[in-house]
Amino acid sequence: MNAQNGTVPGDVNGDGVVNILDLTYVASHFGESFDPTQTPNPDVNGDSIVNILDLERIS
C-alpha cells in the first residue's frame, strides 16, 4: 500500500487488491494512450501508453 495516498500499486479498479480484474482491464486497453489524471487509469507505470510494461507490473 502507498502510505501517501492509501492506494495499492497495480490496483487499477480501486477495489483494494491486485488481481485478474486489474490485469484484464489493463489488457483491454493495450496500445491506447491515457492522461495520467484519467480514472481508472490502466497506464500503471505512467508513461502515457498502455503496453507490456504495465501488464508486467500487475502480473
CATH number of the domain bearing residue 32: 1.10.1330.10
Task: Report pLDDT for 4.
Answer: 46
Segments forming the whole domain that contains residue 28: 1-59
Q: Which residues of 10-36 are buried (b: 16+ CB within 10 A; e: fewer)?
A: bbbeeeeebeeebbebbeebeeeebee
Whether the per-residue pLDDT at 1 is higher than 90: the answer is: no
Number of domains forming the structure of the chain: 1
Give pLDDT tens digits for 20-54. Answer: 999 999 999 999 999 888 889 999 999 999 999 99
The predicted structure's pLDDT at residue 6: 60
